């Protein structure tokens, strides 16, 4: 369904969404609802797999834990990156083999490690002594990969230092893992969410390769490289086709690491973001004063009910209305709650039709990732985002 | 239980929490749990009421919608400020009279207005033409108060322009409400969350009083003033006793407005914040490199599971451990999820015992407001905050 491998842009993506568009247009929803097109999830998985050679793809379940998505991917041979006991249970319940689920959170409850070990998981992430000790106590002999901090790249959403250890601690920690009876298998990192161009991976891969080769030179038999996530979603912009993006990343990896026996990738956003759209409703359109140049548009969904990634106006969602094509004007977009931080876009207002009014349907595109599971249980009494998989 | 009316400080608050402290210390929790002491909620209500004269206190349900809290307050004669249909249903189910519940969100779903009207609610907030039209269509003849934008004060968390209309639009909107067959009763505003000193209300009250007197001079028979929330919680700092704070605010109001026939206040945080504490657990303590001056401490609760108000490090919670009194060092505090923005305090690290380690209980104080209902449904597979009312 992609038009071609080098020209996957927003316009092409629009054609891909015909099935979702039709379903949303013909359905009444009582509350904000995320509609997921399972065909697009499958297509995204296949597109990434086609570019990633022999790499094992572990879907980052946190991106969207809808059981139907997990079951679909398990059936296609996808593996899983789980952040918690609940995500592990979800994967196993939806048909994933325990050996195909990695426990990728470097911050695990000790009793969850024991649970995972008993459930048959064998691969765990760590970035600190205490985490290795917890794993050694509760999953003796387990395979370990060590997460490293990398210097910031040009990702849209660079990660903080929250995850990973400094690179000069890698060898001591790998040795410590072995001392504890664990099996240090490899390294992981995260290049940063929404890394828009494959070439941006190069400096990060250089940093990791230096550690990798130093470890092997010292006789630590690493055979697993987890390149993490960072594969982008378009959000209306122009992007390389995922297969060509993934193939370019794979080339950069191979140049630096040779043929890695066990290569892993953990895409989340790129698997589901453009496979979902949210049907929402305008609650109010107003001007604060007579000379205001912009209007305020209030939706029935906001930062606390599914659009958490608008924090800092980081993710810029495309918004469609039934009045598109009419004259537009700049709007500040906000959520329905009585919380003053529940504003989606203010620094960069959104152009919306001047005729927009309360009761109008809006469709928020590319919302398949990091929306439904972020929704609050009921802030201000607004229910969490509903999810429908078609 | 307050020591005296002018010296209500953190130390005194500590003594007040003995019942919660005892319950938390003697209870094992399987996941992060908010414990609410209902006696303290009742005490806070009575303390505010004692200072607010004839004002009707409408508890801002969004601060903590635990049904037990709503039932307790309804029994004490408290009224309610509801933000949504679900909050209205909650109040009515817990014994509030419909006439004692105001629909205070200026951004309402049109069908929720109809629901509220049929349920017997008579008082609605608005700040725009379209909202007045929605109310007129669905709650004909209803009482209206108009929310105004005020200029920023010294509140810890000044509100944005999300809510309210510019003051020069007040009279036209009040007239428009009357044209629509509604009953324009009064004005409302919000001085800003956590307004620590009563004197800080004066400039805001001056702004509102100018509109109030102009409206009355033009024959608009306003008789209701809603002074909103903004009543502070201590969060470990020194504060005036709530009764004396409220009395000082009331004096400032009376100086400017005379004896208002119907005065309303909408405290939320000040009613419940210091009535709750969260029992949580340390998941990991680590250093990122050998020369790091601070440690990273990861808890089983973070920004997406109840501590949303740490965004921008705005609310500074006090944290107690069983090792308090031992030597401390600076820590960056973070949540358990794989999200890099799930960091609680980094710019201003927290001093915690050097011996702190995974598995240790931590108690987060003054967590009764804006925690449980902000928690996500299950981001990263972590369950939402549990709530226990004692």
Q: Buried (b) or exposed (e) across A13-28, using 16+ Cβ within 10 A?
A: beebbeebbeebeeee
pLDDT score at B192: 86
B311/A128 Cβ within 8 A: no
Report helix angle B129-138 to B110-119, nearest 10. Answer: 40
Question: Measured between CA atoms, how close is A369 to chain B, in angstroms?
Answer: 12
Confidence of residue A156 (pLDDT cuts 50, 70, 90): low
Residue B387: which H helix or E strand, with range? Answer: strand B386-389
- Which residue on chain B is closest to A113 by alpha carbon? B283
Q: Measuring CA to CA, how many Å separate A295 from each of A345, A355, A362, B184, B215?
A: 12, 11, 16, 24, 26
B304/A382 Cβ within 8 A: no
Q: Looking at domain A39-273, which of 3.40.50.300, 3.40.50.920, 3.20.20.10, 3.50.40.10 is its CATH number?
A: 3.20.20.10
**Cβ neighbour number for residue B238 with a 10 Å cutoff:** 13
Please identify every residue of B annotated as catalytic: 338
Q: CA A321 from chain center: how many Å?
A: 26
Strand ranges (E), A51-197: 56-60, 79-82, 101-103, 123-126, 143-147, 183-188
Question: Could you give the angle at the alpha carbon of A154 between the alpha carbons of A277 and A238, nearest 5°?
Answer: 40
Q: Which two tokens stand for residue B218?
A: 């033009």
Question: Measured between CA atoms, how close is B234 to chain A, in angstroms?
Answer: 20
Residue B172 Rama label (left phi>0; alpha psi -120 to 50; beta): alpha
Q: Find chain A residues with C-beta within 8 A of B282's C-beta.
A: none
B184 class by beta-carbon count within 10 Å (0-12 exposed, 13-18 middle, 19+ buried): buried
CB contact at 8 A, A205 and A172: no
| pLDDT, one tens digit for every residue, chain B (390 residues) | 333 333 444 434 458 899 999 999 999 999 999 999 999 999 999 999 999 999 999 999 999 999 999 999 999 999 999 999 999 999 999 999 999 999 999 999 999 999 999 999 999 999 999 999 999 999 999 999 999 998 876 666 555 689 999 999 999 999 999 999 999 999 999 998 889 999 999 999 999 999 999 999 999 999 999 999 999 999 988 899 999 999 999 999 999 999 999 999 999 999 999 999 999 999 999 998 888 889 999 999 999 999 999 998 989 999 999 999 999 999 999 999 988 889 999 999 999 999 999 999 999 999 999 999 888 888 898 888 999 999
Closest to A372 measured CA to CA, from A94, A157, A85, A65: A65
The partner residue sitting opposite B381, judged by closest CB among A85, A129, A281, is: A85
Q: Find chain A residues with C-beta within 8 A of B359's C-beta.
A: 110
Q: Find chain A residues with C-beta within 8 A of B339's C-beta.
A: 62
Quote the mean pLDDT of chain A: 92
DSSP A149-189: -----S-SB---TTSSB-GGGHHHHHHHHHHTT-EEEEEE-
The partner residue sitting opposite A377, judged by closest CB among B336, B358, B373, is: B373
**Cβ neighbour number for residue A74 with a 10 Å cutoff:** 21
**Chain B interface, best mutation among A381, A383, A386, by max B CB count within 10 A:** A381
Torsion of CA B199, B201, B202, B208, to 10 degrees: -170
ipTM tops the 0.85 cut: yes
The partner residue sitting opposite A290, judged by closest CB among B107, B169, B343, is: B169
Question: Measured between CA atoms, how close is B358 to chain A, in angstroms?
Answer: 8
A83/B286 Cβ within 8 A: no
Q: Find chain A residues with C-beta within 8 A of B85's C-beta.
A: 381
B286/A130 Cβ within 8 A: yes
Assign A114 to helix, strand or coil: helix
Task: Find all residues with CB under 8 Å of B105, minimum gap 6, and list them.
Answer: A336, A337, A338, A380, B82, B83, B84, B125
Q: Find chain A residues with C-beta within 8 A of B383's C-beta.
A: 86
Instruction: Please name the fold of domain A274-389.
Output: Lyase, Ornithine Decarboxylase; Chain A, domain 1 (2.40.37)
Q: Return d(Cα B55, Cα B78) in angstroms, integer.
A: 11
- Which residue on chain B is closest to A281 by alpha carbon? B109
**Computed from CA positions of residues A153, A157, A160, A163, in that sequence, does the dihedral angle turn out positive or negative?**
negative
pLDDT score at A376: 87
Q: Find chain A residues with C-beta within 8 A of B160's C-beta.
A: 340-341, 343, 346
Higher pLDDT, B94 or A3: B94
Q: Where are the domains of chain A?
A: 39-273, 274-389
Question: Measured between CA atoms, how close is A1 to chain B, in angstroms?
Answer: 31
Q: Which two tokens stand for residue A325?
A: 């094509």
Question: Measured between CA atoms, how close is A277 to chain B, in angstroms?
Answer: 19
CB contact at 8 A, B278 and B301: yes
B162/A343 Cβ within 8 A: yes
Specify the CATH number of the domain B39-272.
3.20.20.10
The mean-pLDDT minimum among A49-63, A109-123, B144-158 falls in B144-158
B358/A130 Cβ within 8 A: yes
A340 class by beta-carbon count within 10 Å (0-12 exposed, 13-18 middle, 19+ buried): middle
């Amino acid at each position: 369904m992609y038009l071609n491998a080098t020209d996957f842009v927003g316009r092409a993506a629009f054609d891909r969404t015909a099935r979702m568009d039709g379903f949303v247009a013909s359905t009444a929803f009582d509350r904000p609802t995320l509609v997921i097109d399972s065909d697009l999830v499958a297509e995204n998985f296949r597109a990434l797999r086609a570019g990633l050679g022999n790499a094992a793809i572990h879907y980052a379940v946190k991106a969207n834990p809808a059981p139907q998505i997990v079951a679909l991917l398990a059936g296609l041979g996808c593996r899983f990156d789980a952040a918690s006991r609940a995500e592990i249970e979800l994967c196993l319940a939806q048909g994933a083999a325990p050996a195909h689920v990695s426990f990728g959170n470097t911050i695990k409850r000790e009793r969850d490690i024991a649970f995972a070990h008993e459930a048959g998981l064998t691969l765990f992430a760590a970035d600190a002594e205490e985490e290795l000790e917890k794993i050694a106590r509760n999953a003796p002999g387990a395979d370990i990969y060590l997460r490293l901090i990398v210097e910031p790249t040009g990702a849209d959403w660079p990660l903080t230092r929250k995850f990973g250890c400094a690179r000069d601690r890698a060898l001591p920690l790998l040795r410590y893992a072995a001392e504890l009876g664990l099996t240090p298998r490899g390294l992981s990192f995260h290049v940063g969410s929404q890394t828009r161009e494959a070439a941006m991976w190069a400096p990060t891969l250089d940093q990791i390769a230096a550690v990798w080769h130093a470890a092997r030179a010292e006789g630590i038999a690493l055979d697993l490289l987890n390149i993490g996530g960072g594969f982008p979603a378009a959000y209306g912009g122009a992007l390389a086709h995922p297969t060509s993006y993934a193939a370019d990343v794979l080339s950069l990896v191979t140049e630096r690491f040779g043929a890695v026996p066990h290569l892993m990738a953990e895409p989340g956003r790129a698997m589901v973001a453009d496979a979902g759209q949210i049907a929402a409703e305008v609650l109010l359109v107003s001007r604060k004063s007579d000379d205001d140049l912009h209007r305020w548009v209030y939706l029935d969904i906001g930062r606390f009910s599914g659009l958490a990634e608008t924090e800092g106006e980081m993710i810029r969602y495309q918004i469609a209305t039934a009045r598109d094509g009419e004259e537009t004007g700049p709007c500040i977009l906000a959520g329905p709650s009585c919380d003053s931080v529940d504003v989606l876009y203010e620094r960069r207002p959104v152009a919306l039709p001047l005729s927009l009014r309360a009761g109008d349907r809006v469709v928020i595109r590319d919302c398949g990732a990091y929306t439904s599971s972020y929704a609050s249980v009921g802030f201000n009494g607004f229910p969490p985002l509903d999810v429908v998989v078609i």
